[in-house]
Structure 1
Amino acid sequence: MAQTNAAIGAKSAAYGWYAQAHSGTLFDGSQLLSVMDDVKACNCVFQPAVMPVGGWKGLTSSDNSQAVAIANVMKKFTDKGIPVWLRFAHEVNYYQSDGTYQGNAADFKAGWAAVAAACKQIAPEVKMWWTPNVAAASSYDQYTPDDMSTVSLVGIDYYPKSISKGTEFVTTMKAFHDKFAVDGRKFAIGETGLGYAGSQADRVSWLKQVMSSKSQLPNMIAASWFNYQKEYDYRIVSPSTSSGGVTAILKAYLAL
């Protein structure tokens, strides 16, 4: 993160990372703990995405052992004064369809309740963050946690296939924001980027669209970019090329 901040000449507000919680094996958080020093040094909000893979053992009301293990790992961060927004089973409405997660919406709801209860008892500073994948409204309703008082933050993970209209972000988010970002609950994007191999300018154009939506989405407080090179280059920051390319475009935007 220090490299990223140096590349853009600004401080990042959040630090996202991923970890798999394997059914039948108590979660030790090693993937998250490996970046703890970097998270601490950046002095930003930690946004771990904990993915329950292989099943939901230990994530029920009758057996909450995995939920307790997850909460204990979160406590290691909050004990160091690191704010934690936990994206438990992020994009569950998509990942249960492609086999990454097992089970159905009822399994997710039970798992969410177990993790929320464990965090409330063990690491009460943790904010539970519900982030389904972009979908129809019926999908959000199907996967809404049963007790929304356990949800501190809501958002949608979204990678647009086109940004030609210039209004894709607000059009996609507005109804969800207005329905779920209520009763003190805030709206934040857990991950976004382009859903296609766009140009450097396209990536920054999408960032601008996301960040200019506050007036239409008044409870929006944050958005995190998927800054990674995967099947194509999602990045808006590349520390190794900070003198040019997309990072330079981003720096110019941030300087406005």
Structure 2
Amino acid sequence: MSLFLVLVAFALSVFSLPVLDDSVDSITMQKRWEQGISDNAMIINWIGLGFLPDFDVSSVSEINQALPLPMAVVGDYIPISSDDTSLGGFWYHYNDIVGQAVKPVYMATIELSDGLWDFDSDQADVISQAMADLNNAGVPVWVRFAYEMNGCPAWNAWGCDPNGFFQAWNIMANSLHYWAPNSKMLWSPNIDTDNNNWGNYDQYYPGDDTVDLVGLSFYSFGIDQQENTVPNSGFLIQTAGPFYDTYSAAKGKPFVLSETSAAYHYYTGTQVAAAGGSNELQIKTAWMNEVLGWNTHYNFPNMVAAVWFNYQKNERDQTIDYRAILGNPSVQSMVYALKNW
């Protein structure tokens, strides 16, 4: 049997699961439709699969060519400050995005280069008017503003400052709802496992009136975030459950894994795998099952999408391959086979 058929059979064994209750499916379908996700995109167990491409080395078109169906969401990092309102690479990606036959949701991940207190309505209006251009071209938009703001000590210029975050968030929300009323505000903290996974989210929640979707950054990093180990079954549901229950289920908000991946670790600058013993296909297949499996849809019926961080980076004194597409061919074949769930 060829390697491809083996991978297909393996994926089918993981993702072919019992049919869900119709009421759970209808909840997801309605919320997915309301958030702009196309039924013709990559939908696995009712959850849309999207990507955060490394636009320095790949494009939306190149990733879509490696998929059986178009990506449901494309994420992009957009820096902005009072000194620079060019929106980074946004306009370079624009034609590629609007040119897709099946339009992905555009998830604009806004990075405040000079911090929360530098952000003002002029910057917000630049973002909003660009998002309105996308809407007018038929592209749905989620603005993932000042993401992972709850990380403390802060690992970005806009983190660990609730008051500053609320001020900046409200400026952005007011502008977006005025200039681009068809776009949506995505509140997206980082997973926080303190206090039995209840985390520090509440002090950063801006309020039901301005939040359209809720999301999390949540990765599988392996033991000590350094080793190649497979995530435990149920890890996602158990860890993200309190967040989902509080901010999605209780409030009726759609839920997104707005940044996720499974790390495969190499010793820096080499192709020598770090300790742990699991191979890349095992790790990424297990995490795809955590993210897109039947059990996740059943427990998180408001979950409409997961967006995969498709980068290779040098960080944490290692080279880490986060890619599902355009990296390891075996992993890419596994992802391709997901359409057969």
Q: Which residue of 2 aligns with 1:222?
A: 305
Does residue 56 of the first structure (1) align with residue 137 of the second (2)?
no
Q: Which residue of 2 aligns with 1:132?
A: 189
Give the counterpart of 2:284 among 178, 186, 203: 203
Does residue 41 of the first structure (1) align with residue 99 of the second (2)?
yes
Instruction: Tell me the matched-pair count.
Output: 248
Does residue 85 of the first structure (1) align with residue 142 of the second (2)?
yes
How far the C-alpha of 1:172 sits from its partner, in A, is: 1.5
For residues 141 and 103 of structure 1, do their structure 2 counterparts lie closer, same or farther at Cα, with a shift above 3 Å needed?
closer
| Worse-matched range after superposition: 25-34 or 84-93 | 25-34
1:147-172 superposed Cα distances (whole Å, 9 cap, x missing partner): 32111110110112344421111011
- Paired AA for residue 218 in structure 2: Y
Give the counterpart of 1:31 among 89, 94, 102: 89
Normalising by structure 2, report the TM-score.
Answer: 0.68
Unaligned runs of 5+ in 1: none
Does residue 175 of the first structure (1) align with residue 242 of the second (2)?
yes
Aligned residues of 2:150 and 2:189 also touching (Cα < 8 A): yes
For residues 216 and 2 of structure 1, do their structure 2 counterparts lie closer, same or farther at Cα, with a shift above 3 Å needed?
same
For residues 72 and 86 of structure 1, do their structure 2 counterparts lie closer, same or farther at Cα, with a shift above 3 Å needed?
same
Secondary structure of 1:170's counterpart equals helix
How far the C-alpha of 1:251 sits from its partner, in A, is: 1.8
Q: Which residue of 2 aligns with 1:73?
A: 130
Aligned residues of 1:84 and 1:126 also touching (Cα < 8 A): yes
How far the C-alpha of 1:189 sits from its partner, in A, is: 1.0
Cα RMSD (Å) of the superposition? 2.0
| Worse-matched range after superposition: 38-47 or 126-135 | 38-47
Q: Which residue of 2 aligns with 1:194?
A: 262
Q: Which residue of 2 aligns with 1:94?
A: 151
Q: Which residue of 1 aligns with 2:74?
A: 15
Higher relative contact order (CA 8 A, sep 6+): 2
How far the C-alpha of 1:249 sits from its partner, in A, is: 1.9
Secondary structure of 1:8's counterpart equals coil
- Paired AA for residue 209 in structure 1: E
Alpha-carbon distance in structure 1 between the residues aligned to 2:86 and 2:263: 32
Secondary structure of 1:215's counterpart equals helix
Aligned residues of 2:264 and 2:321 also touching (Cα < 8 A): no
Alpha-carbon distance in structure 2 between the residues aligned to 1:195 and 1:235: 8
Aligned residues of 1:26 and 1:69 also touching (Cα < 8 A): no
- Paired AA for residue 166 in structure 1: S
1:42-64 superposed Cα distances (whole Å, 9 cap, x missing partner): 311111101112123463xxx52
How far the C-alpha of 1:31 sits from its partner, in A, is: 1.8
Alpha-carbon distance in structure 1 between the residues aligned to 2:324 and 2:339: 12
For residues 82 and 99 of structure 1, do their structure 2 counterparts lie closer, same or farther at Cα, with a shift above 3 Å needed?
closer
Structure of higher CA gyration radius: 2
Give the counterpart of 1:234 among 298, 317, 322: 322
| Worse-matched range after superposition: 84-93 or 25-34 | 25-34
Aligned residues of 2:191 and 2:199 also touching (Cα < 8 A): no
Unaligned runs of 5+ in 2: 1-59, 223-229, 266-278, 315-319
Does residue 143 of the first structure (1) align with residue 226 of the second (2)?
no
Normalising by structure 1, report the TM-score.
Answer: 0.89
Give the counterpart of 1:121 among 157, 178, 183: 178
- Paired AA for residue 191 in structure 1: E
1:1-54 superposed Cα distances (whole Å, 9 cap, x missing partner): 2221221222111111101112x2252324212111111123111111011121
